[in-house]
């Protein structure tokens, strides 16, 4: 019974010592320390107090080192979080800048094409009016020829003059018709390009 009581007392004292030292925070296994403490308690009891003081210093240093490690880990995590946040912020800024520049580019292109399109439309209208005038002029000339012939007032000089005028008019008509067709093609290509740019802008 005395042996059991002594064992319980030793266990109690060692447990209290470990609690005071905060050993559980820095040690996973106390068995080696316990074995040495029990051996000194049994064989060299006069050295036990020195050993316990030594343990106090060691565990204090270990606790400080552990606290410092935790502080460093915490500071490092904060730095990493701040760095990640900064990177994310920069990434979002870059995305916004790229989007803004793309929109500005598309807007400028669209405005340029619209301006060019309006210019071509004006040119097209002018060509159509010119063509209409030439057609009307040719009709008047044909009417004049018909009237001269029907009135038997034709002369060789008048006939030659009318033929030359008519040929010149036909050349003008052909040239204007070609320019009109070309302007219509350019306008169609431009309108298709402007439509494509508008669709890209909407994406």
pLDDT level of residue 31 (50, 70, 90 thresholds): confident
Mean pLDDT over residues 141-163, rounded? Answer: 64
Take residue 112 and report the two structure tokens written for it. Answer: 């340029």
Residues 78 and 86 sit within 8 Å (Cβ to Cβ): no
**Residue 146: what pLDDT?**
66
Check pLDDT > 60 for residue 153. Answer: no
Cα distance between residue 185 and residue 191, in whole Å? 10
**Residue 2: what pLDDT?**
54
Domain locations in the chain? 2-83, 104-202
Check pLDDT > 70 for residue 121. Answer: yes
* Range with the poorest average pLDDT among 36-50, 151-165, 168-182, 188-202: 151-165
- Of the two residues 43 and 113, the one the predictor is more confident about is 43
pLDDT tens profile 66-101: 888 889 889 989 998 888 888 899 889 888 888 888
Cα distance between residue 69 and residue 190, in whole Å? 68
Cα distance between residue 120 and residue 190, in whole Å? 9
Cα distance between residue 51 and residue 56, in whole Å? 9
Cα distance between residue 196 and residue 16, in whole Å? 82
pLDDT level of residue 17 (50, 70, 90 thresholds): confident
**Residue 136: what pLDDT?**
80
Give percent of the chain above pLDDT 90: 1
**Residue 201: what pLDDT?**
59
């Amino acid at each position: 019974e005395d042996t059991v009581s002594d064992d319980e007392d030793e266990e109690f004292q060692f447990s209290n010592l470990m609690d005071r030292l905060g050993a559980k925070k820095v040690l996973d296994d106390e068995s080696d320390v316990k074995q040495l403490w029990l051996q000194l308690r049994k064989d060299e009891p006069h050295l036990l107090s020195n050993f316990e003081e030594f343990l106090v210093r060691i565990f204090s240093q270990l606790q400080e080192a552990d606290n410092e490690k935790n502080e460093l880990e915490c500071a490092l995590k904060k730095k990493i979080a701040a760095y990640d946040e900064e990177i994310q912020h920069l990434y979002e800024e870059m995305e916004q800048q790229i989007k803004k520049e793309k929109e500005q580019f598309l807007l400028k292109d669209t405005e340029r094409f619209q301006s060019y399109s309006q210019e071509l439309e004006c040119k097209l209208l002018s060509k159509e009016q010119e063509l209409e005038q030439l057609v009307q002029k040719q009709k008047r000339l044909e009417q004049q020829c018909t009237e001269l012939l029907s009135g038997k007032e034709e002369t060789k000089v008048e006939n030659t003059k009318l033929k030359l005028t008519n040929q010149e008019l036909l050349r003008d008509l052909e040239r204007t018709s070609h320019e009109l067709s070309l302007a219509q093609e350019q306008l169609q290509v431009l309108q298709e390009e402007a439509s494509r740019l508008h669709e890209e802008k909407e994406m």
